[in-house]
Amino acid sequence: MVGYIFNRVRTRRRAMEQLREIVAHRRRDGPLHIAILQARASDEAEELRQVLEIGFAPVELYVTQFTTVIGVHTGPGVLGIAFYWGD
């Protein structure tokens, strides 16, 4: 669901909770693989990593930076996830 707005939230804290809720809502059989992407939001990315690791015990969990192409369009402070359940 690329580009779909799930919900609008007012705080960054609630936005991170919303990301966790999306992963929980889309739970499937099989192992979980997650990538957390950030642009100058390394502290929040680390906090989100800990929450997702404790809550879901993924087999893969990466934290990486958005490319500069994405950063040009979003600006600093953006945080997102990509994930899938299965082999």
Task: Give the chain's mean pLDDT.
Answer: 88
Alpha-carbon gap, residue 24 to 44, rounded angstroms: 19
> Following DSSP, what letter does each residue of the chain receive, concatenated?
-TT------SSHHHHHHHHHHHHHHT--SS-EEEEEEESS-HHHHHHHHHHHHHHH--SEEEEEEPPHHHHHHH-TT-EEEEEEE--
- pLDDT tier for residue 83 given thresholds of 50, 70 and 90: very high
Tens-digit pLDDT profile for residues 59-81: 999 999 988 888 788 888 888 99
Element (H, E) at 16: helix 12-25
The pTM for the full model equals 0.84
